[in-house]
Amino acid sequence: MSSFWLRRLWHSALTLFTMLTLMFFMFRMLPGDPTATVISPALYPKAQEALKIQFGLDKPLWEQYLRYLGNLATLDFGLSFHTGRPVAEEIGGRLLNTILLVFPSMIAAYVLGSFVGAILGWKRGSKTEAILVFVSTALQSAPVFWLSMIAILFFSIKLDLFPVGHIVTPGMFPDEDWRMYFSLDFLHHLALPFLINTIYNFCFPFLLMRSSILATVGEEYIELARMKGLTEKAVLYRHAMRNSLLPIATTLPMTLGWAVAGSVVIETVFSWPGLGLLMVEAVGHSDFPMVQAAFLLIAALTVAGTLMADLLYSILDPRIVNH
Amino acid sequence: MREQQENAAVLRVRGLNVDYQTKKGAAKALKDIDFAIHAGERVGLVGESGCGKSTLLKTIMGVLPKNGDVTSGRIELDGVNLLEVDDETRRKARWAEVAMITQSALNALNPVRRVGDQIIEAVRAHRPIDKQEANALVHRLFEMVGVAPERARDYPHQFSGGMRQRAVIAMALALSPKMIVADEPTTALDVIVQDQIFARLRELQAENQFALILVTHDLALVAENCQRVMVMYAGTLVESGPTEEVIAAPKHPYTIGLINAVSVLGSDKQPISIPGSPPDLMEKIDGCRFAQRCPLATSICKDQMPEAVVIASPGGERMVRCHHWQQAEDFALRASNPDVWQSVSAV
């Protein structure tokens, strides 16, 4: 634990604080009165006034801001305008659904992408390489919702292999409690969005690893490793791939934060009740506390991801910490 | 005597030809290379950049780039032709039999792995070794090359240039090879560190009796460190023999030019460089590859590649590849006049 880490932690905290503050004032600068959804203009002015006092909206902005910070510190995100239940409770379950969909597929995509990219880059010039580079570039430019819709059309509707959407068959788990996550039905529903998300996210690490390996192949330490009598496999995995992992390791944790944000699209198409779908619904309902909390969560995840990337990088590349 | 030497050869290269395939055609990087290195011998290989020194080393180590083709010849290590054995035998011969001290120790060490681990890795590729034995070995090797053993856990960037070079030497010694090839091992270092490292290398060579090929463009370094010298020009060996004899009485015009080009501290002798540049290896050259720049060149030199002439000498054997080698002595006297060289390039 060096000054490097203290500095990195301090930067993360500062970034997060800036985000919180921007978020608070941005929502209050938006056109329209967000309170209109809760405090109906049709109410008697006296009742409106009473409600405003109840929500603390009569206080000056700086006092509201301080209160907002205080509430956040105790993880109190307020009540949803739409359901009236605590935001933290609503988001908790939804976040789990998103994580179950996004994280495993991201990790699968990165592991697969790295290995395939490394092996194909190592044996430069194969036909498989040419085809896969073309397909990956094409896939990467295709919108994920289009990809999802094609997949649903083909696998779900035409072949009837997978359900069209949702996390479990509606009505099968009326309470939607933990038991549903351990059911085959859940896995059946997870399969298609998982597959799409994996394929879509495979392209980036694949192309990155391939070009990273291509840049490493000519390095002198690779030649020396070969001269030392290491097997081709050992040269590839222990030297070429080991060193080419650096750019991948930095992008993976950062992408995890974005992936949660990016899940909006895939969750909407597959009606997956995750954070992304929740945000879309909340925006539709003008449910400001909910949207604000969701945004904060994504910001926090991104900052945490960046910090994790730095941590990983310093483990993988000893040259970093010493500076 | 000759028979005995033949038997004691650790490495024998015969009729080696290597081409690089390029889009424009084949570049003849090595042409008819023949030489032998005997056990415990220190041999210098000199020549300008691009003359094929590195290609020769890569061919010996078996790490030619994909476009490099050995078109003919043999590389015999203890009588076994390395160009014919299967990949696994070839792999096992690397480092255990012939190790290498690379040109740039900074780039040759993997920046993200500990120096000690990289040395042990070379051992582990050839035989199992447990952690304790590995630590002891690295400890001993570091002491041998003069680096504090506890630095073995450091990463390359924590080492100075001289220490890195010493670490690379330690790595070369790890499996007690019969031969070590040093490719310009100290070019990147200052003269004082260079001297220290060579002094250590000579001691280690005397103790461990490995054969050493020192590849360099620095004749002075060869004069100080090697018993024999081989001079290379544009992919051919033009002259070889005992270092003292070759430097005192060179027999090839190129060697004469090379010696003339060395500046001597404290002497008023001006170094003279050889005008012109080596031939384009993409072109088909029938004659002597040095003919274009050679003041002694006649029509035969342009048409016919000279055969290697072996001359008996007090220090062993000398070889020269020149049609006019008998005029060398006379030419050496004239060669210190720059005009002699200029007249050729003017033609």
Higher-confidence position of B5 and B154: B154
Helices (H), chain A: 3-29, 45-55, 61-73, 87-122, 127-141, 144-151, 184-217, 220-227, 232-234, 242-269, 275-284, 288-316
> With contact defined as beta carbons under 8 Å apart, do A12 and A303 qualify?
yes
Higher-confidence position of B152 and A32: B152
Nearest to A175 by CA among A85, A87, A93: A93
> With contact defined as beta carbons under 8 Å apart, do B229 and B240 qualify?
yes
Choose from B85, B110, B126, B180 for mutation: most chain A CBs within 10 A: B110
What residues pair up with B42 in beta bridges, in sequence order?
B212
Pick from A224, A230, A318: which is nearest to B112 by CB? A318
Nearest to A110 by CA among A264, A263, A254, A299: A254
- B6 pLDDT above the threshold of 60: no
Closest-approach residue (CA) in chain B for A239 = B110
Residue with tokens 């779908």: A277
CA dist B328 → A34, B241, B297 (Å): 100, 15, 12
Pick from A229, A234, A319: which is nearest to B92 by CB? A229
Joined tokens for residue A230:
């290491």
Average pLDDT over residues B80-89: 91
Q: Are strands B179-183 and B98-101 parallel, antiparallel or unpaired?
A: parallel
Choose from A223, A224, A323 for mutation: most chain B CBs within 10 A: A224
Say what the pLDDT of residue A60 is: 83
Close Cβ partners of A117 (under 8 Å, ≥ 6 residues apart): A205, A206, A207, A208, A209, A210, A212, A213
- B345 pLDDT above the threshold of 70: no
Say what the pLDDT of residue A33 is: 65
Question: Exposed/middle/buried for B130, CB within 10 Å: 0-12, 13-18, 19+?
Answer: exposed
Query: B interface toward A at CB cutoff 8 Å?
Result: 61, 63, 91-96, 99-100, 102, 104, 107-113, 121-122, 125-126, 155, 157-158, 171
Pick from B92, B108, B111: which is nearest to A224 by CB? B108
Say what the pLDDT of residue B16 is: 95
Say what the pLDDT of residue B338 is: 83
Test B125 with A234 for CB contact under 8 angstroms. Answer: yes
| For chain B, domain boundaries | 2-226, 249-347
Say what the pLDDT of residue A25 is: 85
Higher-confidence position of B269 and B48: B48
Chain A closest-CA separation from residue B88 CA (Å): 8
User: What's the CA gap between B80 and B11, in Å, rounded?
Assistant: 9
Say what the pLDDT of residue B210 is: 93
Say what the pLDDT of residue A117 is: 93
Complex-level ipTM: 0.86
Q: Cβ of A154: how many Cβ atoms within 10 Å? A: 11
What residues pair up with B189 in beta bridges, in sequence order?
none
What backbone phi and psi angles, to 5 degrees, belong to B77?
-110, 115
pLDDT tens digits for B213-240?
999 988 989 999 999 999 999 999 999 9
User: What's the CA gap between A123 and A132, in Å, rounded?
Assistant: 14
Pick from B107, B112, B126: which is nearest to A317 by CB? B112
Query: A interface toward B at CB cutoff 8 Å?
Result: 219-221, 223-231, 234, 238-239, 242-243, 246, 316-319, 322
pLDDT tens digits for B20-36?
998 888 899 999 999 99
Test A242 with B102 for CB contact under 8 angstroms. Answer: no
CA dist A186 → A172, A183, B258, B259, B268 (Å): 10, 5, 79, 82, 90
Test A227 with B94 for CB contact under 8 angstroms. Answer: yes
What residues pair up with B37 in beta bridges, in sequence order?
B11
Test A243 with B110 for CB contact under 8 angstroms. Answer: yes
Q: Which CATH class is domain B2-226?
A: alpha beta
Choose from A221, A222, A233, A244 for mutation: most chain B CBs within 10 A: A221
Instruction: Give residue A25's Cα distance to chain centre.
Output: 25
Chain A residues closer than 8 Å to B102 by CB: 220, 224
Test B157 with A224 for CB contact under 8 angstroms. Answer: no
Chain A residues closer than 8 Å to B157 by CB: 318-319, 322
Q: Over B12-50, what HEC string results?
A: EEEEEEEEEEECCEEEEEEEEEEEEEECCCEEEEECCCC
Determine the 3-state secondary structure of B311 from DSSP: strand
Choose from A212, A227, A233, A237 for mutation: most chain B CBs within 10 A: A227
Test B93 with A228 for CB contact under 8 angstroms. Answer: no
- The parts of chain A modelled with pLDDT lower than 50 are 323
> With contact defined as beta carbons under 8 Å apart, do A221 and B109 qualify?
yes
Chain A closest-CA separation from residue B100 CA (Å): 8
Test B108 with A221 for CB contact under 8 angstroms. Answer: yes
Chain A closest-CA separation from residue B110 CA (Å): 5
Test A226 with B158 for CB contact under 8 angstroms. Answer: no
CA dist A138 → A53, A124, A132, A154 (Å): 56, 20, 10, 19
Average pLDDT over residues B157-172: 92
Determine the 3-state secondary structure of B195 from DSSP: helix
CA dist B68 → A276, B14, B18, B65, B99 (Å): 55, 18, 7, 5, 21
Chain B residues closer than 8 Å to A229 by CB: 91-96, 122, 125-126
> With contact defined as beta carbons under 8 Å apart, do B74 and B83 qualify?
yes
Nearest to A8 by CA among A320, A310, A297: A310
Strands in chain B per DSSP E? 9-22, 25-38, 42-46, 68-77, 80-81, 98-101, 179-183, 211-216, 228-233, 236-242, 309-313, 316-320
User: What's the CA gap between B253 and B212, in Å, rounded?
Assistant: 26
- B1 pLDDT above the threshold of 60: no
Within chain B, how many helices (H) and strands (E) appear?
Answer: 14, 12
Joined tokens for residue A248:
């991948």
Predicted structure pTM score: 0.81
Closest-approach residue (CA) in chain B for A226 = B63
* Domains by residue range for chain A, with CATH: 13-73 (no CATH), 94-316 (1.10.3720.10)
